[in-house]
Amino acid sequence: MKKTVTTLADGRELIYYDSADDTVRDAVDHRPLDPVSTSSEIRRDPLLGDAVAIASHRQARTYHPPADACPLCPTRDGRVGEIPDGDYDVAVFENRFPSLAGDSGRCEVVCFTSDHDASFADLTEEQAALVLGAWTDRTAELAALDQVTQVFCFENRGAEIGVTLGHPHGQIYGYPFVTPRTELMLRSAARHREETGRNLFDDVVAREEEDGSRVVLATDHWTAFVPYAAHWPYEVHLYPRRRVPDLRELDEEARTEFPQVYLELLRRFDRIFGPGEPPTPYISAWHQAPFGVPGREDFALHLELFTIRRTSGKLKFLAGSESGMSVFINDVPPEAAAQRLREVASK
């Protein structure tokens, strides 16, 4: 993997990740852009203790542009966007409309491919491996920033999820705090360690493997399963067999096997609801241990992949119980979801 770091016209950082070591990236961004001005602010909810990012400047962000004006496509054929080169493998840049900025953290956009009409599931294993390399490198770089406590790599796919740019891309957030969801996991892991002397994540994976009814696929270095208390209609958790706190610690065997495993899961998601259905909307989220906090050594890197579509033509809405009280009601039994995901395996 070759990494080339440059800057955009307004001073934001842009990084190219290329498979070929002899690739030259010297295109210059000539757009007349003013320096980015943000008003990101972190406020604490005194009742829940949650952090909320107030980012009013995001109201002006790009919203469903036509394909010929996509800002994530390469700069060519008279089209000028965020990436000045005429082609690219993987590109990462600072978000022009960040939720977190300055002392409040950092937000980056990850473009998985220059092909506007592709999706992550369309990538080759070599391309997916390059994305994994970019995620890992960005985790290492952001971990070195004083204002970053936790790194979150994720992808939103589909208009139903709220995606406003159709180009295949994801994001990376560098939070200046430990996120509420991770705090809950750390708290549960600490309690489990105190009560049993064992690691909670290890026990969860072992229980799923022993039961087997919710396992979707298992390889030499990865295990994927629908969790026992799944929140979403179709939800898969993917764990490396060797527990590590974040992407930086994955061994070469797990890295080599990841593209095949992950692409298979994404392709199964697109087959859940049968032929002729539109692509399945999903969120894919890497859960990594925060830095410098108690319990980091007990945390387990894992990826959570889920869709808000519960059946053909119907979405799972977060209504009164979910949004008002954080109590999820799942219409699809986890065992049935796992069975369906096994049925649609690649032949």
**Catalytic residue annotation:** 169
- Residue in 233, 227, 185 with CA at minimum distance from that of residue 207: 227
Collect all residues with Cβ–Cβ distance below 8 Å to 264 and sequence separation of at least 6. 217, 345, 346
Which helix (H) or strand (E) covers residue 190, if one does? helix 180-196
Report DSSP letters for 154-222, one per residue.
EEEESGGGT----SSEEEEEEESS--HHHHHHHHHHHHHHHHHSS-HHHHHHHHHHHH-TTEEEE-SSE
Number of other residues whose CB lies within 10 A of the CB of residue 249: 15
Phi, psi for 155 (deg, rounded to 5): -130, 130
Q: Which amino acid is at 264?
A: E
Half-sphere exposure of 33 (CA within 13 A, CB side): 16
Structure tokens at 275: 């032929």
Q: What is the DSSP letter of 289?
A: P
Q: Decide if 309 contacts 160 (C-beta within 8 A).
A: yes
Q: How far is CA 258 from the centre of its chain?
A: 15
Q: Decide if 116 contacts 67 (C-beta within 8 A).
A: yes
End-to-end Cα, the chain, rounded Å: 31
